[in-house]
Every structure is written in structure tokens, then in C-alpha cells.
Structure 1
């Protein structure tokens, strides 16, 4: 379904140009930003920003990070950069978020970055294309390098003279890897363990109302495979694509969870109550009574949208996990005690949560087209869900789903679902992925076309060329337009958009440039053009007049 610009403005929700966002929405959504204000802007500065036009970039297949007029960038940290005497920045950075150390100083704080997976060609000097049986030619040392380069990074960064830099050797700097012991936040052991080894497949995430980091394990089966059950409920093992289980025999059930990390000491825990599946993200909302609602999606074809509602303040353990029936607008409880159909299949609630995908289907949850990022509109309070694509259903370009909870209550058990913006040539984008709202409520969106499909004449993605960052303004003459403002290097995906608390910086990951390279002598990308001339994932800081204009657009337009 496609809709025109007027309909999409309605989809976003109308608001007064002079409206100032309530900080409750923003903090509850985990963005940790503050309401926009122009009190420090001179009349001359406001006039200057008013005149700045938003210029759309054309699709590009160039090997570079290209930004529209009014934006510039610098690299904050990239793969292999030193954090301290022991640690270096991991590979394939995805989600980013920023917590200021002092709420009164937006220019000094902790950056959390996910590291989703590795390309062995670069990380462990192993090219699987060279061997008929790759597992026979790998070593423990190579696997250990790969395990180190996934998980996440906490790093202190400071802005000086407009440039964000790593504070090397700061006491906060540390890595969380596939080797890090992590506790399970659950009373029942899983596969005999209450503490498991490591986290990996870390895709998107968020920040809790109590200012800890959330990181989500997505394609967990890539590393240790998966346990599958036949019609007689007999288990078997499906091998992984990366083959780690041939070196370390860790149960697949220890992965596929939402993980919380304390920024002060790096201590982590996995939240079993939120279910096990390919978590793209986890977006938290704190209710007035301090109970928490957590929205999370399963980023696979024909999988589901979930919501956890806690029964105690500040808990991600006590409560109920629900799955969405978007056809009938109901949240279905994945609760073993109250659902006979679950009792007939599973032995207890723990097994329901471990096998959440199967449980969701037994309850009649709606199969969706790869639910990825989830964000809450800071003005209307509606929930936005990226449905990236589903080629098995001939949905090549994806769409954005809107969830309106009954009476605007996030703990409601009924809702209205609608799709108002579909990807495709008519709307100028394909495969929506990460979403972010800025201080003024404008929507920013990255895309996730796979490197193997982009820029191929026989594929439907050729018109869009490289992945991009898009802006959808909410106010003024450009309201409702889908405007390309950044294009990625070759093979790369732009991920993890996150605004600094003052709205003057957009942190953005440039993930897997050059991923389709067949060997080190045939590189498809060389971004970010370091001296060693190999592609490196990196986090960049985007600044400039356009960032400031958009974050204060509602106030600028009203003056």
C-alpha cells in the first residue's frame, strides 16, 4: 500500500508549529534528549537557518559517505581503534546511543555501540571462499578473534572544538564480547546454567529509564546454530553459518535475548522474560507508576511483534510477554498458566520463553515482514515499526507500520494497526530499517538493502543504488517529503542513528563497507580510506546547520 505526501503527514500526526515536546515521551523512549529551545539562538541565526533549504541527494553508487548541503561528518571511532591498553573497538558496529556523564554537559559522555557480526576475511584472516570445507581449515585462535570482535563497546567521548574524540584509557572504556560471562535474569537455569558465556549478533537496542544500555541479540543462530523440534516435539540441532559450535559447545538457548549492560562497570544480564528470538531492538516506555513496557520485534520473515508489560516498577523480569495479532488488534499473552494451547506443547513458562516463536504461532500471532526497529513518536505517542521486506511474499521494499494503543495506554491489550508508508520507487526508498525522531519530531530513517542485491540490473533495488539515510520533515513546505540526505559507501548499511542531548550531533554507524569483497586484493570498498586501505566499519558524528535546523524546526518555523 502506498500513500501520498498529504496522507503521510496525517500518518505522522499534526501538531502546532510552536509545540514543544514533552520530555516524558523522549526519556521514556530511551532517547535521553531534552525539549527543543531556541533561547540561545540570535535572530540572525534563526534567519540563517530558515533560509537553509533541504536539498535531496540523488541515489549514488559511489564508494564514499556523501552528505547533503548543510551536513558534514567526522569519524569518532572505527574498527581496531584503541580504547585502552587491553581493548580495541569491535567490528560491524550497529546500534549507537549516548549517555552524558553530567546532564548539564551534552559534550562529554559514554557512547555504547553494538557489534553485530564479523567478516572473517578482515577479522581473522580467513576467507571461507578458498575452501570446500571451511571448518577444516580454521583454528581456535581465529575463532577467538571473531568472538572478541562482536558484542559491544562502552567508550567515553568528548566534543572539543566541534570534534568528537575518544577519551583513550578512560576508566569507563571496556568491551563486552562473546567471551564475557553474563547472568540470566531468571529463577530457572537454562540448559543447566544461570550464567552464560558472551553475547553476539547485537543489532539495535535502547536506553532504560534508569540509564543503562539495552543491546539485542538478533541472528543468534549464525554462531551456534539452533535447536529445532519436529511434529513429535523431538529436538535436533541445525548447524550455524559461522561454525563456532565446532570450537565451543555453547547451547543455542543461551542466545537470542535482550541484554542489559550497566555503563558504570559493564556488568550485564540477559532478560529471559522478554522472550527468545531474533531481537532487532527493544524500546522501553516507563508508565506513570514506574512499570515498564518493552516493545521488541523478531527480524525474520513471517515472524512477530512483541510487547512486555511489567507487573512491578522498574522490572524486566516480573510481568507478561505478549505477541501481536495485528489483524484483530489484540495483544496475546504468552503465558503458560492461562493458555491451555501452550500447556499442551511446553512443560513450563521457561520453555515458552525459550521457544517464543513456536508459542506465538500457536496463539495465532500475525506473521509480519521482518519487524525491525521500533520507535515511539514523541508528539502523538504512536508506535512506529519498520517492516523491512519479505521476499517470500514478494514484498521487496518493505513499509512502516503504525500501532495506536487503545486510548493511548501503552499497557493496553488492544490496538489499531495500519500501514501508511510503503517502500518503492514512488516514495523513493526501499527496505526501511532504523528509525529516529529528533527533538522537533521529524523522522529519520535508514535503509537495509543487502549488499548482494544492491546495484544489480536484474534486481528491483537498482533505482535506489547504495543504502541511505532519509529525512521526513514534519513542518513547513517540506513536511511529508521523503528526502535522501546521506548515502553510504559501497556494500555498507547506515545504522543506529542517535541524537546528542542538545540536538546538534547525529551519531551514525557505517556498517560492513566492502562486505562483498572476495579477497584482500579485490576490495569492493576502501572506505574510510585509512593508510592500510581496507574497509573498516566506523561510527561517525554528523553535524552542521541542517542538523540544527531540523532539531529546532518547529520553533524556527513559528518565529
Structure 2
């Protein structure tokens, strides 16, 4: 597809209309800036933009963060680094987002980073392979180390001479951990508590219209187990892999929520109204009357897509949670008062929200193939959802689902669903995970091939090799193509793409390098190549001429 000058300027006109669709703060899992507004485009600038050279990296198994031509990176922070005299950076960094301290200075602000999980071998020197029942063999000291290394980090970072660095001991720097007291934003207690112990399994997230961080609890059952109910509504505890419940009396019902963190003081709350399940992300949109719409996906096979619509301005408590029927294009209310099937099964709305998965199936929601990240297109307003895979249903490569809300209204109760891109060798990617739109509306995407299946001859993922970062350009000769621009180190996953406010830096997590390590003295990866040779989850800043050209900000401002 080739763009001439007239069509290109027509595209810019659509981009400027996009500012009417998306609020200025772009509340979502990766967007941080609005599309460019009307500017004068010279012939010389157009030629430079048209001739962006995108080099599609070949799949590789190299143990390094490999970048395409026109990109470079530097490390901002890695596991174990000190952020203050009292705290260190946690393990398995995932989602990242950035809020400038001064809206007029895009080079100084607060970075929030999720810490999703722990590898016990690295974090607390516990080798699960040596025990038949590893969850019962850990010591309390080891569990406490694991609890400290999950949650999230708030760190002040600033860009000096082109390199982002942590401002050590800044008053904003703090850890939110598996032990931090967190309030439940609800009128009734859950399992007798209104304040719960900590957060964990923090996957993706976002930023609220009022400039607080959003973090989402995903695979909490791996740490605290889960409560299952039979046909007679009799509850049974399903034990966790890590066995934290043997050391602390924290019921599974205290986890699986969307968490909001105040960057100023680190106070946090869990939003019960948004439902309890394996939240991959929570993508927010502010309506004209300041009511909030929140999209979220349940990252598990045959689970569902959700949307919360608030009934009051700036509220993530008052409102209705809906679940998607993608076959008929309907948002179905998970409302105990109006749904007879829910009244028959559950005692009240609180129980509906705690058991959102069961409630969704009762009202007829569509099972999906691991809905993960959700992003709103800043040009069209369409909603994109990554469906990572569903191996039991022979969907190994996943796809990207597109939702078009009726009349473009985010609080509509009907929509149209279609597949935007299917994973597989033809499109060059597999297992899509995190998404982010840049300032020009180009779509960036990371992949999530599990380390246990990656580069295995008997698995279907051999052609794709290591996990990667891709971009789908919006304009130019490569428009619509899926282009690999970065490859992750061995066993690693690239997560949490988020652009700086000026569009010149892409913050990105390198998560769980060396995840398949069985012998700490012989790790499968050595990234980021510290002297100790131990692989460490790392947050990097990706920069370069290619990103600036893709955002076409510098060229337009100078034209």
C-alpha cells in the first residue's frame, strides 16, 4: 500500500480527529500521548516520512536484546538494584507506565513497574525440583523474600544526556509488596476484612484520568490457591504452587482484583466493582461527563472480556460490570438485581463479583482464547484485544480481536467483533500479548510464547524462535504489515511497552530471562550480563531515529 502526499495529509486529518476520540491523558495500557494535531507538512518532510526504512529482524535464539537498525537501548533498572536506602527493585518486572512530574517536562517523572512473579531459585535460593511437595518445604524467611519481590515499584527517573536514570532516594521512590496493607473499595468486607495483605501476580495496567497508577492481579492462584465450588455450592480450597497459604492466613478472595496506587504516597485500593478473575490489564476511558469505562480481560483459556461503566464521575466503584457476548455483539450485565440466573446462584452482588467467572458463564458470555492486553486505537476509537492462544482448542498462535462499539460510544451495550490479525507464520508472529499505540497510531505488540515451549523441536513455535517486539505501521509502504523490531534474550518475554510523553523513548520490560534455569551456576541466560552472570529481569529504554520517525514528531515540529 503506497501513500501519496494527498492521502498522507488526509491521514493526518484523521489523526487530528482522533484527539476528539481519546482524552488528552490517553488512559490505556501503553498510550501516553495524543495523535499529532494539525500541522503544516512540507514536501521535504513528507519525503522523509515516506522513506522510513523498516528492517524486519529475522527470528533468532541469541541470548541478548537484539534490535533492528535505527534502535538502541540502555538499562534503567534491574532486579535487586537499590531505589532508596530501604528498598530494592523487585523481580519479574512486567507492565510499565510513566507520569511526568511537570507536564511541561517530558524528561522527568515517575515510573511505575509491576512485579508479576518470582523464580524461587533466584529470589530465595529454593530449588523446587528437589522436593516432592515444594510448597511445604519453603521456610517463612524464603516466603517473605518472595512476598517482598512481587507487587510493584514507584521510581523517579530523569533523562540526562539521552539516558534515563533512577533518582536514588527520591521521596517518591517506594515498593508496594505482597505485604503492603491495601484497602478494598467496597461497602462490605470480603472474608471478614476491609483491608487485605499486599498484592501479587501484577501483570499489566494503566493510568487513571486523575493520574494514579492501575495494576492488575492475574495468576494469584499460583501463590494463594483458589476456592472452587461444586454443583451444590460447596467450597473447596485448591492449593497453590508456592504454598504461601501455609504461612499466612490470606484467602484467595483477597486477590484477583484491579489495584489503584497513588503515586504521591503509595496508598492503594482494590476495586471490587471491576470483578475478580485473572486480570491481565485494565484499560480506562473517560466519557465527556467524566464517567469512566474500564475494559479488562481474563487471561485464561475459555474466559471472558469485561467492561465496567461507572454511574458517577471519576468512580471505579459505582456502576455496572458487563461481560462480552462476542457472537451476538452484546454487553451482558453481571447485575444480581436484574439477572434471575445470578439470584438463583449467588446470595448478593458481592458474591457475583468475587465469582465473576461463574457468573459470566451463567449469563451466556463468550469463552475466548486467553484475552490479555487491551488498547484503544487513537485514530478510530476501536478496541483491540490480544487473544494469546488456546492450546486445548488447537489455537497455538492466537490473534488480535477488534471491537467496534456501536456509534463509537464507549458506554454502548452493543458492538461488532472481528479478527484484526491472526497469529501464525503467514503474519510472522505468535502468541500476541501487550499492545501500545504510538503518537502516529502505529501499533506495537509483544509476544508471549512460554519459555517451556520456546525453541522446542516438538512444539509449534520453532519458526518464531525467541519472543519479540513487533510494530504494525499505519502508513507508508509497510502499512498493515507485522514487522519484528526486537528479539528478547533466552527464555525471556518483552512486556509493558509504554512511550514517554514526547514519544522519543519506549520503556520496555525484559521479563524472566533464564527462566528455564535448573542450576543457578549454569543459567540458560546471562542477560543483562552483570559480572555475577545471573540473569535479571530488567527495564530498558529503547530510543533511536526509527522511533522518532515512526512518531513523525521531530520532522513535523521542525517543518
TM range (shorter): over 0.9
Given the two structures, how large is their TM-score scaled by the length of structure 1?
A: 0.95
| Distance (Å, rounded) in 2 between the aligned partners of 1:28 and 1:518 | 42
- For the residues of structure 2 that align with 1:520 and 1:67, how far apart are their CA atoms? 28
Structure 2, unmatched stretches of 5+, are 3-8
Deviation at 1:32, TM superposition (A): 3.3
Q: Which residue of 2 aligns with 1:205?
A: 205
Contact 2:284-2:295 within 8 A present in 1 as well? yes
Q: CA deviation at 1:71?
A: 0.2
Name 1:77's counterpart in structure 2: 77
Q: CA deviation at 1:137?
A: 2.9
Please report how far the alpha carbon of residue 134 of structure 1 lies from its aligned counterpart in structure 2 after TM superposition. 1.8
Q: Distance between the aligned counterparts of 1:217 and 1:448, measured in 2?
A: 18
When residues 101 and 556 of structure 1 are mapped into structure 2, their CA distance, relative to the original with a 3 A threshold, is: closer
**Change over 3 Å in CA distance of 1:509–1:15 after alignment to 2:** farther
Aligned in 2, Cα 1:459/1:556: closer, same or farther, shift over 3 Å?
farther
- Conserved? CA contact 1:76–1:166, under 8 Å: yes
Distance 1:484 1:29, change over 3 A: same
Question: What CA distance in whole angstroms lies between the structure 2 residues aligned with 1:284 and 1:50?
Answer: 33
Q: Partner of 2:11 in structure 1?
A: 16
Alpha-carbon RMSD across the aligned residues, in angstroms, is: 2.2
> Residues 121, 43 of structure 1: CA spacing in aligned structure 2 closer, same or farther, 3 A cutoff?
farther
Residue 155, structure 1, aligned to residue 155, structure 2: yes
Q: Does 1:521 align with 2:521?
A: yes
Count residues with an aligned counterpart.
Answer: 549
Give how far 1:33 is off.
1.5
CA distance in 1, matches of 2:380, 2:331: 21
Shift of the 42–538 alpha-carbon distance from structure 1 to 2, 3 Å rule, reads: farther
- Residue 302 (structure 2) pairs with residue 302 (structure 1): yes
Superposed CA deviations along residues 149-175 of structure 1, whole A, max 9, x for unmatched, are 000000000000000000000000000
SS in 2 for 1:101: strand
**Where does residue 316 of structure 1 map in the other structure?**
316
Query: Cα 1:214–1:389, aligned 2, differ >3 Å: closer, same or farther?
Result: same
Q: CA deviation at 1:27?
A: 2.3
- State the 1:241 CA deviation: 1.1
Residues 271-302 of structure 1: CA distance to partner in whole angstroms, max 9, x if unpaired?
00000000000000000000000000000000
- Of the three residues 27, 30, 43, the one matched with 1:29 is 27
CA contact (8 A) 2:45 2:555 kept: no
Structure 1: give runs of 5+ residues left out of the alignment.
7-13
Alpha-carbon shift at residue 34 of structure 1 (Å)? 4.0
> What's the offset of the Cα at 1:367?
0.1
SS for the counterpart of 2:536 is coil
| 8 Å contact from structure 1 (residues 440, 554) kept in 2 | no
Tell me by how many angstroms 1:17 deviates.
4.1
Q: Which moved more, 1:25-34 or 1:281-290?
A: 25-34
Q: After the TM superposition, which parts of structure 1 deviate over 2 Å for at least 4 consecutive aligned residues?
A: 17-24, 26-32, 34-52, 553-559
Distance 1:444 1:178 in 2: 31
Aligned residue for 1:219?
219
- Counterparts of 1:39-438 in structure 2, within 5 Å, are 51-438=51-438
Alpha-carbon contact 1:17-1:557 (below 8 Å) kept: no
Counterpart in the other structure of 2:461? 461
Q: 1:318 to 1:183 in 2, by over 3 A?
A: same
Output the CA distance in 1 between the equivalents of 2:212 and 2:43.
39
CA displacement at 1:48 relative to structure 2? 5.8
2:510, 2:540 within 8 Å by CA — same for their partners in 1?
Answer: yes
Find the residue that maps to 2:361 and give its secondary structure.
Answer: helix
Aligned partners of 1:370 and 1:511: how far apart in 2? 19
Describe the superposition over 1:292-315 as per-residue Cα deviations: whole angstroms up to 9, x where unpaired: 000000000000000000000000
Match of 2:6 in 1: none
Measured in 2, the distance between the counterparts of 1:416 and 1:111 equals 35
On the 8 A contact 2:49/2:552 being kept in 1, the answer is no
Displacement of 1:458: 1.1
TM-score in terms of structure 2 length: 0.95
Structure 1 Cα separation of the partners of residues 42 and 74 of structure 2:
27
